[in-house]
Amino acid sequence: MVAAETAAAADKCVEEATAQVRNIQEKAIKAVALAAIQSGRITELVYLLKITSGGGGSTGYCLAQDGDNAQTDTMVDGIDCAALTPDLTAAPLEYSDASFTDRGFGQVKASSAKHGTANRCILLHKANTNNPAADDLFQQKGPHLLGGGLLSVTAHTTSVEATITALDSIAMAGKVATPKQPYEELYNAVAELKAAPKHSCGLDETGVIEGLINDNSVATQLANMIKAAKPDLPDGEDAKQAEAILTAIAAKDNNRGKNIREKILNTKIENVKNGNRVETVISEISSTADRRTGYLL
């Protein structure tokens, strides 16, 4: 009886694991899709800035590194902005306190994206007025959100701002309550994937049997069987009887899983040989399929 309920618990464990794999797969696809969307926005923005900054010498701030003119190289952190091709060999995200916390993306803090006046272009220039002007790229000073909200730009002649949005405190307790920006949706998707429960049914026969006994899965299956056979039992009595059965079989409590496993493997079940049913000790049946058939018989 206990052997059969152990087999039933194993089947149930596999069903639950399969369901969780499907669930995790959906979460992973969602996270990857949102990451791709966000990466696309960043890449296109960087490419735009590269093109508009090229050759700027004295017309206003631009986003660059150093030198008299903006960079002409299209590669930024392993991403070819011209081809919009991400670096697929990048190191995977690690869930460390430094990179992914219950408050947000820990390493993305507010900082200025603009450099000194030696790097100039027309991109961030706006006459000192909010009136539309033919010579200005931005028709209002702003601030304007670019790149899916990752960059805040205020255009001006002198008071130019280009600020990278802080993402290290966008969430509370591992979730953005009301996501509005793409990076908030991305955070929630990654957080869900991180929080997906780990589920293991064991790596081998010993691990499966002992694990299911020690985590009370077998006790639950046994209690359900008792309740089905005796539906009038008082509440909780089925669990008490299941516990009593397992305690009696284990004989000693220092290693219940191991003790019950050994007794299960020394139990005889009906094995099919040459079309006939033959009682055989479980440990002598080498085929997993034959053991499964024996449990069901």
Inter-residue contact 193 to 24 (CB < 8 Å): yes
Instruction: Please determine, for residue 66, whether its predicted confidence score (pLDDT) is greater than 50.
Output: no
More confident position, 19 or 259: 259
Per-residue pLDDT tens over the stretch 280-289: 887 787 777 7
Quick one: pLDDT band at residue 67, thresholds 50, 70, 90? Answer: very low
Q: Is the pTM of this model over 0.85?
A: no
Q: Model confidence at 271, in pLDDT bands (50, 70, 90)?
A: confident
Grade residue 276 by pLDDT with cuts at 50, 70 and 90: confident
Report how far residue 159's alpha carbon sits from residue 139's, in angstroms, rounded to the nearest whole number. 16
Q: 268 falls in which pLDDT band (50, 70, 90)?
A: confident
Averaged pLDDT of the chain: 74
Identify the CATH homologous superfamily for domain 18-195.
Variant Surface Glycoprotein, subunit A domain 1 (3.90.150.10)
CA distance 103 to 93: 16
Q: Which of 54-68, 79-93, 125-139 has the lowest mean pLDDT?
A: 54-68
- Mean pLDDT over 151-176 rounds to 85
What is the Cα Rg of the chain in Å? 32
Task: Give the integer Cα–Cα distance in Å for 105 and 47.
Answer: 24
Peptide bond into 197 cis (omega under 30): no
Is 23's pLDDT higher than 90?
Answer: no
17 pLDDT band, cuts 50/70/90, is low
**What's residue 68's pLDDT?**
45
pLDDT (average), residues 285-297: 69
Question: Which residue from 211, 146, 264, 266 is spatially nearest to 10, judged by alpha carbons?
Answer: 211
pLDDT at residue 69 is higher than 50: no
Q: What is the pLDDT of residues 204-260, one digit of tens each?
A: 777 888 888 888 888 888 888 888 888 888 888 988 988 888 888 887 767 888 888
* Residue 171's pLDDT band (cuts 50, 70, 90): very high
Q: How is residue 198 annotated by DSSP? A: P
Q: At what angle do helices 256-265 and 237-250 cross, to 10 degrees?
A: 80
Contact between residue 264 and residue 6 where contact means Cβ atoms under 8 Å apart: yes
39-53, 142-156, 278-292: the lowest-pLDDT one: 39-53
> Does residue 167 have a pLDDT over 70?
yes
What b/e sequence results for 8-46 when a residue is b if at least 16 CB atoms lie within 10 Å of its CB, and e otherwise?
Answer: bbbeebeeeeeeeeeebeebeebbeebbeebeebbbebb
Q: Residue 32 pLDDT more than 90?
A: no
Better-predicted residue by pLDDT, 173 or 203:
173
Within the chain, which residue ranges are assigned CATH 3.90.150.10? 18-195
Give yes or no for a contact between 145 and 154, defined as CB atoms under 8 angstroms apart. Answer: no
Region of residue 115 (left: phi > 0; alpha: psi -120 to 50; beta: else): beta
Record the tokens describing residue 108, joined without a space. Answer: 């993305």
Grouping H, G, I as helix, E, B as strand and the rest as coil, residue 223 is helix
* pLDDT of res. 95: 63
| pLDDT class of 177 with cuts at 50, 70, 90 | very high
Alpha-carbon distance of 222 to 132, in angstroms, equals: 77
For residues 114 and 102, which has the higher predicted lDDT (pLDDT)?
A: 102
Alpha-carbon distance 205 to 201, whole Å? 10
